[in-house]
A and B are shown apart, each in its own frame.
Chain A
Amino acid sequence: MKSEALRWIVFFPLIGAALNGLLIRSKNPYLSGAIGTLAAFASFFTSLIIFSQNGFSTHITDFLFTWFSTGNIKVDFALEVTAVTSVMLLVITGIGGLIHTYAVSYMSHDESPWRFFAYLNLFLAAMLTLVLSQNLVGVFLGWEGVGLCSYLLIGYWYKENKNTEAGMKAFVTNRIGDLGFLVALFIAIRDFGTLNISEILAFVSGPQAAALGSTSLLIFAAGIFWASTGKSAQIPLYVWLPDAMAGPTPVSALIHAATMVTSGVFVSLRLWPIFEGQAQLLEVILVIGLSTAWLAALIALTQRDIKKVLAYSTVSQLGFMFAALGIGAPVAAFFHVVTHACFKALLFLGAGSVIHGMHEKQDLLEMGGLQKKMPLTHGTFLVGTLAIIGFPLTSGFFSKDLILEKAFVKSPVVYFLLLGAALLTAFYMLRAYSLAFWGKPRTKEAEHAHESHWLMTVPLGILALLSVVVGFFEVPDILGGIHKFTEWVNLSWIGWTPQLGGGTAEAHHLSHLAEWLLVLFTTGGSLGIAYLSWKKFGQIQAKSAVESNPGFFTRLSENKFYVDEIYGILFLKPLAFVARTGSKIVDHSLINGALHGIKDSLNLSGNVLALFHTGGVQTYTWYLVFVAALSICVAIFSGWGVL
């Protein structure tokens, strides 16, 4: 089905960005914010209208123009909605709109709110391009666009060096990943002969793919996965995400928790039929997802900056999603993307509210006792915390439970590893929550903290509500058995039959008793650990009580397992050495030498010629006479036939 309205989902934020960034450039945060927020919500309602008219998971396309065409490759600027896209659209524009609303108040003291909202809207436009595009080139355009906006927004407060450096780190790390995307594009052009996603999927299930052999499919999928490790912050390219917290908090919530970082999972999902055939690659994805979930959770245990805790938690949850992909459960992974978008955006915005109330203090040890000063923030943050640790009937409970159940079906070892990471999540989240909101205020700022403006608390409330209800789209059989989400998402891959049994609802082979046991075990463990953590950190009165002598593992965790330092020695130092040596040889010796040589020879010849230029009229006459005499001689001698 065709729909012209589809393009407006992308155009509205683009128009908002142009208005804010190019035309109006208002210093009034409410004017700039209103433009940005309206643009986001306009997209949201456009999506809602389209879905209400056409049904939620209809295949809708919108052709704008042919971008370029060369040989047998034709790239259109065309948009396409499948089921998985439509869910993503609502997440991006809905949560994006709420975060824009929140940002109006959060950025109200900023010098250039127009710049902020222009970047934010530009990000939305790029993200929507990524999600909606019909072909991989359009996806790549959006992929790079969100990377650019991420860079711009991390370094938004560019006057501090640390922020711009974090932005550059994010940008460069993502470039390393993007190489994989390019490789995948080249493979698609060479071997599949098309860049259109549905045509690629049709090709892969067709007879030519079998003739092609599995190598190019493997390289294609591996390239996409490598790009995803960059964008979605997996080992080995996750290091940029914690540093990205240098950006304003709404940015962390929108880009680095809810939307952009999940685009790796999203692209893998759109191309799922290709991934499904690559059993070895899936094992690699599983291992990487698991280790990322563990490593990030271990680091999050000891971080003191509230945003860093949430950042590592995001990395860890993304690890969960990739682990789910690795065990062949794309729907579970995508369900976790959606629920995670709700509760992690909520947590980040809550943290932003705390930071705002604490006058830009982010250290957990300097907080304490905020539950009475900021009751609304406390309540919503608590809901977010409960959702992420999987408190029964919150959204995190359903999505995490789905992943763990699929993991158990795959192998109990995977289940226990994932469960370990989930228990760590419960521990560090309750630690952060208790340190911030319980105990006694530990600094002056904490004593004088104040509740935030209603523009900030209302989005918090809506997100808290979402964090609870979104989970009810997919409920396990033992609790009533709703499988709406699975049904929708399975419609994304038309004409595709699942091979691993991960995609469909009837795929689990567990008895009800086993399922009950699993759920009770998982939830009981998480809640137990959460209680212990709350006991340990909820009563801390003074800052010094926490700053004891750290042990070996604490130090390891506090220093993020020295990964940045190891990368520094392994990659940055040799690279800098090569660059410096290269510049010495090529720049200083070759290029400079050649240029100086030219300059010197010109100088010398000029100096020699200048000797003849005395300024005396008689000297010049001498030259004249000399040349005249020479000419006469030549004339005479040639007359004689000598010359």
Chain B
Amino acid sequence: MELFSGLSVTQFHVGIGVLLFCIGVSGFLIRRSGLIALMCLELMLNGVNLCLVSFSNLHRNPEGASLVLFIVLVAAAEAAVALGLFVAIFRKVGTVSLDDLRSLKG
């Protein structure tokens, strides 16, 4: 089955996944807000998920698809923890701008 000329379904899906991942990376690198960075993180994860699912479909192997379930689970947990952290940081520092959070510097 072909959607566009010369592109298979798998190629299309993987391309979308890579695109999502790149958007996530660039957003993470460029935007200053911690919340947006978090969203970009989710984008990256989902880009990876999409790739996993399509490869799983291609190889007729359910391992990739089942790994996605774990990733979704971890991503949900991570989002919960990270949001909680940002709330706590905001209470303590008064900002969630990544430029201002530099106390990791030794």
Contact = CB atoms under 8 A, between A and B. Distances in A.
A618 B29 contact: yes
B99 interface: yes
Interface majority SS (helix, strand, loop, mixed), chain A: helix
A615 B105 contact: yes
A613 B102 contact: no
A625 interface: yes
Interface string B5-47: 0000000000000000000010011000000010000000000
A608 interface: no
Interface majority SS (helix, strand, loop, mixed), chain B: loop
- Residue with the greatest number of chain A CB neighbours at <10 A, chosen from B29, B99, B103: B29
B26 to A, nearest CB: 9
Nearest to A617: B98
B105 A617 contact: no
A613 B28 CA distance: 19
Nearest to A614: B105
Interface residues of B, number: 12
Given A621-B29, A622-B29, A615 B98 contact: no
A366 to B, nearest CB: 74
Interface in B40-87: none
A615 B25 contact: no
B1 interface: no
A617 B101 contact: yes
A379 to B, nearest CB: 86
Contacts of B37: 617
Contact of B25 (A613, A614, A616, A625): A625
Interface residues of A, number: 9
A615 B104 contact: yes
B106 interface: yes
Interface in A612-643: 613-618, 621-622, 625
B29 A615 contact: no
B28 A616 contact: no
A618 B102 contact: no
A613 B106 contact: yes
A221 to B, nearest CB: 72
B104 A617 contact: yes
B106 A616 contact: no
Nearest to A615: B105
Contacts of B106: 613, 615
Interface string A247-258: 000000000000
Interface of A: 613-618, 621-622, 625
23 contacts: A613-B105, A613-B106, A614-B102, A614-B105, A615-B102, A615-B103, A615-B104, A615-B105, A615-B106, A616-B99, A616-B101, A616-B102, A616-B104, A617-B37, A617-B98, A617-B101, A617-B104, A618-B28, A618-B29, A621-B28, A622-B29, A625-B25, A625-B29
Ranked 8 nearest A-B pairs via Cβ: A615-B105, A615-B102, A615-B104, A616-B102, A618-B98, A617-B98, A621-B29, A618-B29
